[in-house]
Chains A and B, each alone.
Chain A
Amino acid sequence: MIDLLVQAVTFAFQWQNLVALAAGTVSGIIIGVLPGLGPSAGMALAIPLVLKWPPATALIFMGALYKCSNYGGSITAILVNTPGDSSNAATILDGYPMCEKGRGGVALALSATAAMVGGSIGMICLIFSAPALANFALEFGPAEYFLTALLALSLIAAVVQGATLNGLIAAGLGLMLSFVGFDVITGHLRYTFGWSVIEDGIPLIQALVGLFAVTQALVLAESAGAISRIGKLAGGFLEGARIYFRYPYTVIRSSLIGLFVGVLPAVGQSSAGLLAWADAKRASAHPETFGTGDPQGVIASETSTNACMPGDLVCTIALGIPGSVGAAVFLGVMIIFGVIPGPLVFTEKADVIYSLFVALVLTSFVLFFVGMTVARHFALVTLLPNEIIVPLTLVISLLGSFAIRNLMADVVLSLGFGILGYVMLKGGLTPVPLLLGLVLGEMVETNYHRALMLSGGSYSIFFSSIICKILVILIILSFVGPYLAPLWKRLTGKMK
């Protein structure tokens, strides 16, 4: 193993591989920034370009592109309230309010640091324990997935603290929206009203563009000024990196959540950031600052999404089973180059795989460097007057929503969600519970059905395995915990 890694390091530092890595990083960031182009479409577009390259070099380019497109997505999420990809949704929640306080540069630095740290933690786990992690993922059947989703949904309780009723309404709305479309279990169409555009369900990115970008454009259009309310940029760039390391606890928790979400193929990648954000809010001593520009929000979301990508590669490489669309494209690229992912790949193509791994760790650092030197200047966007930035973001984000499926109807859908978001905002409802419901709804529902189909209708399947039992205890704790904490404090207080 050590020999392999040493070999891989020397290989990754060959000039053509370094060039491929740098090129992949830059194209990844650009693809992430461009609306409607996520990692999957980006990689698919690049296939003809790399077809004649040596396999390892081509995979390094593709891997870097895959990894960095996520960081590119965080740039637009922070600066103009438009997620580049669905995984960046939670970054908006605190990233954009930071921009409003003039701290856009700091937020970008946080996201660049998160890409480096989260990415590296994820990669190290991937390098040293991929087969073990993959076997762990296989233990998860429908019952385990159902309970995991339930545990994730219990985070809604933390998110809605202080506005419980409003929050639950939003969460319910999110769950209801997740039911729209083709029902995987029964094969029937639900709530589509004959509109074929939503037969595959509510498209997530299009909904996000509406809920965030369009809503924000409407809000900004109400007044003159710029996104940055103080009219200038405050806070140095290095400050962002320094702030990041002030929250090691949040970093570790978020990395683990991201890795966990990534490793389990049936958990949607888009939930990684949201779950880490909600978890950080729950753990925080000042949960009320979340959503108003708390740097911890950006740290949690971005660290988690960046740790998620290597987690996603675990099952993709160790089992040949992709956990997301991005991973599926990457799997396809590997196969084209004759590297067939699966349990045997670690012995058959060890040189290529470990070079790729080393290169991806390296990418995390290159990304940090690029982010800290080049991307910082993007923060100037937040100083543009509203009359310029509003039409610009509106056109670009709607273009993105069109480009995903080449469907004009998706633009209509985004506008609809924009209006919904605006009404919710004015009514004091936050979009976070709605998003959690929308992202997790299908996972809860289909796995519940599958589990009962397997057990012949017996509920005992939800307590059958050890993982199930642990999950059930965690769920109970997450509901009862908030009530137990004060009790515990009082008890220990009395003891003293």
Chain B
Amino acid sequence: MEKKVNRRLTVVTICALALLFICPNAWSADFPKKPVKMIVCSAAGGGEDMETRAIAPFVEKHLGVNVTIENQPGAGGKIAFEKFQKTEPDGYSLIMYTFPKSIIIEYIDKTNFRTKDFTPVFAWSRGNQVLVVHGDTWKTFGDFLKAAKSKTLSGGLSGRGSTVHLAGLVAVDELGIKVNWVPYEGSAGSVTALAGKHLDFTICLATSAVSLTKAGKLRPLVVFSDTRDPYLPDVPIPKELGFEATSMPGIRGVEAPPRTPAPIVKVLEDAFSKAIKEPAYIEIAKNRQIVLQPMSSKEYAQMVEVTYPRVEKYREMLKEK
């Protein structure tokens, strides 16, 4: 009798185990059960933070649970990244930042995290970098280039080690010009200084110079991108101007901790991709002049892969100037 029960128990257990392995989706069916936390690795109120807060209500709708936001600023995001490396891969903690900021940090500094270890979930927006000059100065990129070749111009550096810094280095390298870089903490400082004619040009995110550009105080001469920016349809891209600049746009999206199971990633990815299709969100994105460019988990992973060697090329320059 007892043996029989035992055997029955064994059979049931084996069947249950088998079921578990056959349908791993059983996990995702229970996910998510509690609020999902989005970690922003900069202070409340920054570009990353505002973008997270704008999308959160829409993700909430498609995920069916609350989405909370936690700011973990400090050391340009390094503190948050290092903490995230060791976070439980259960899908309840996600990190939002401007890629490839984390890779730049890896090359500048000793770090206890690896961007390629993180599990990409979904990226939705793209921030193009632009080269801007004062409205009273050069009208075209050609004029600017001629001037830059005849004398060393002063350029505002919108934050050392930022994605914009990298874009500036790439551009200057491709064009073969010399620049007297004047470093600022962020684009607010360099854009103001340019508007006051204290600098000759600066490179910043297109969104940082929108209103002054519209008012004619500043003029963007080139957008570092493979395609024209929908919000700056009149501004040419490097290809049209006859030079190649490996574009390195700031991509905003979310990643999960290392080794997050694929079914969970799928649930999250679906929720985000549906969220950015909501008309109310599209309206907000339009107002903020965010270029929406959905990027799946797979595409995001590929981008991480190809970005490492690109950043490495400028490693020494990032440290020096």
Contact = CB atoms under 8 A, between A and B. Distances in A.
A336 B287 contact: yes
Given A266-B189, A344-B214, A405 B180 contact: no
Max chain B Cβ within 10 angstroms of own Cβ: one of A139, A328, A341, A446: A328
Contacts of B255: none
B234 interface: no
Contacts of B53: 44, 47-48
Contacts of A332: 45, 47, 50, 288
B62 interface: no
B210 interface: yes
A187 B161 contact: yes
Nearest to B78: A196
A140 B194 CA distance: 11
A387 B54 CA distance: 45
A200 B287 contact: no
Given A44-B53, A48-B57, A325 B75 contact: no
Contact of A185 (B71, B72, B183, B284): B183
A407 B79 contact: yes
A319 B192 contact: yes
A472 B309 CA distance: 50
B150 interface: no
A321 B192 contact: yes
Given A44-B50, A141-B198, A453 B74 contact: no
A51 B287 CA distance: 13
Contacts of A338: 287
Given A40-B44, A48-B53, A199 B74 contact: yes
Given A48-B53, A184-B183, A405-B73, A43 B45 contact: yes
A45 B188 CA distance: 23
Interface string B208-228: 001110110100000000000
Contacts of B288: 332, 335-336
A337 interface: yes
Contacts of A456: 180
B76 A182 contact: yes
Nearest to A196: B75
B273 interface: no
Nearest to A345: B211
B211 A342 contact: yes
A40 B43 contact: yes
A138 B195 contact: yes
A184 B287 contact: no
A446 B78 CA distance: 23
A197 interface: yes
A285 B210 CA distance: 50
Contact of B70 (A141, A142, A266, A406): A406
A197 to B, nearest CB: 6
A315 B193 CA distance: 13
A172 to B, nearest CB: 24
B154 interface: yes
A375 interface: no
Contacts of A340: 210-211, 214, 287
A343 interface: yes
Contacts of B264: none
Interface size range on A against B: 35 or more
A286 to B, nearest CB: 40
Nearest to A265: B192
A182 B186 CA distance: 13
A452 B49 CA distance: 35
Interface in A308-326: 315, 319-323, 325-326
Nearest to A37: B44
A319 B188 CA distance: 10
B54 to A, nearest CB: 6
A454 B154 contact: yes
B196 interface: yes
A98 B58 CA distance: 50
Contacts of A406: 70-72
B76 A200 contact: yes
Given A344-B215, A453-B180, A325 B43 contact: yes
Contacts of B180: 453-454, 456
Contact of B57 (A45, A51, A184, A320): A51
B245 to A, nearest CB: 22
A336 B54 contact: yes
Contacts of B189: 265-266
A450 B182 contact: yes
Given A51-B57, A196-B79, A329-B50, A320 B211 contact: yes
Contacts of B319: 187
A335 B47 CA distance: 12
B184 interface: yes
B191 interface: yes
B95 interface: no
B35 interface: no
A412 interface: no
A343 B191 contact: no
Contacts of B198: 141-142, 454
B75 A319 contact: no
16 contacts: A44-B49, A47-B50, A137-B196, A139-B196, A182-B76, A199-B75, A320-B210, A323-B188, A335-B288, A336-B287, A345-B211, A446-B183, A446-B185, A453-B180, A454-B154, A454-B180
Interface of B: 43-47, 49-50, 53-54, 56-57, 70-76, 78-79, 82, 108, 154, 160-161, 180, 182-185, 188-189, 191-193, 195-196, 198-199, 210-212, 214-215, 217, 284, 287-288, 318-320
Given A196-B79, A407-B72, A446-B185, 19 more contacts: A41-B44, A44-B49, A51-B57, A140-B196, A184-B183, A187-B161, A196-B78, A199-B75, A325-B44, A329-B44, A332-B47, A340-B210, A341-B211, A342-B210, A342-B212, A342-B215, A343-B211, A446-B183, A453-B180
3 closest Cβ pairs, A-B complex: A342-B211, A320-B211, A141-B198
Interface of A: 40-41, 43-45, 47-48, 51, 137-142, 182, 184-185, 187, 196-197, 199-200, 265-266, 315, 319-323, 325-326, 328-329, 332, 335-338, 340-345, 405-407, 446, 450, 453-454, 456
